[in-house]
Amino acid sequence: MKNLSELEKSIKYTFNNKNLLHLAMTHTNVSKKNKNNERLEFLGDRVLALVIAKILYHSYDKDSEGDLAHRLSFLVSKDSLYNVAKSINLDDYIISNEKKLNSSILSDACEALIGSVYLDGGIEKSENLIYSLWGELIISVKNPPKHVKSQLQEWALGRQLKEPKYNIIKKDGPPHSPIFTVSIDIEGFSKISAQGKSIRQAEQNAAVKFMDTLDARFKN
């Protein structure tokens, strides 16, 4: 694992409280009882959504609320967080017992990093960090991305199938950071389930997972 001072250089922010950065990089499989990055992840998730929403509000003044929501959903998604985490080689700094870090660990650590900067330097420093890391990604979304659930619904109805049905299978985790498992049911296909930090996110992840399982002849 690289020295965390290298991460500070990478994100162009020097922590006043180095313990916050260390905590942000500590995965739950290393330490329990609030000595890991779960709570910072919870905070960072909200800070990121607020800052991105503000950027979109001022950058896309002709967008409807629905279009802004689709942009926001894409930019704060696990995939976007993972890509941002990889862009700063965050996997080199995460303290974990896992030999290979999956996308979930990386995206969670990215949120925790944002939360730690917010606590250490306030909203202005958090905005600077997010502007820096998400700038190119925001610019790349010239048109509002279509919600994956909408894409899947159009795909199903276009083939004269019934609308996809989403069912909550279970809810795990602590009250402040629940994990929902949702299944998706489309006639003629096997059920597929996925997890998320909210019911909406779990449904989106299930829809993505379903689309990924289709081979080319079904997608076209």
| Better pLDDT: 6 or 79 | 6
Q: Is the pLDDT of residue 219 over 70?
A: no
Rounded to an integer, what distance in angstroms lies between the CA atom of residue 66 and that of residue 160? 26
pLDDT in tens, 94-150: 999 888 888 889 999 999 999 999 999 999 999 999 999 999 888 877 666 667 788
Strand partners, 176: none
Is 185 a catalytic site residue?
no
CATH class for the domain made up of 148-219: alpha beta
Nearest Cα neighbor of 118 from 68, 16, 44 is 44
Other Cβ atoms less than 10 A from the Cβ of 81: the count is 26
Q: Which pLDDT score, from 0 to 100, does residue 216 have?
A: 44
Domain span(s) for CATH 3.30.160.20 in the chain: 148-219
The answer to whether 147 touches 64, Cβ cutoff 8 Å, is: no
From 38, 41, 108, 111, active-site residue: 111
Rounded to an integer, what distance in angstroms lies between the CA atom of residue 184 and that of residue 204? 10
pLDDT in tens, 40-99: 999 999 999 999 999 999 988 888 887 888 788 889 988 889 999 999 999 999 999 888
Q: Which pLDDT score, from 0 to 100, does residue 3 have?
A: 93
CATH of 4-140, one of 1.20.1050.10, 1.10.1520.10, 3.40.50.12780, 3.40.50.620: 1.10.1520.10
Q: Is the pLDDT of residue 1 over 90?
A: no
Cα Rg of the chain (Å, integer):
19
Phi then psi for residue 90, to 5 deg, are -60, -25
Segments in the chain forming alpha helices (H): 4-11, 18-24, 38-59, 65-75, 78-87, 103-121, 123-140, 148-158, 199-213, 216-219
Q: Is the pLDDT of residue 162 over 90?
A: no
pLDDT in tens, 75-88: 998 888 999 999 99
Rounded to an integer, what distance in angstroms lies between the CA atom of residue 158 and that of residue 152? 10
Q: Is the pLDDT of residue 215 over 60?
A: no
From 41, 45, 108, 203, active-site residue: 45
The answer to whether 63 touches 56, Cβ cutoff 8 Å, is: yes
Domain span(s) for CATH 1.10.1520.10 in the chain: 4-140
Half-sphere exposure of 77 (CA within 13 A, CB side): 22
> What confidence category does residue 157 fall into, taking pLDDT thresholds of 50, 70 and 90?
confident
Region 164-169 average pLDDT: 94
Is 45 a catalytic site residue?
yes
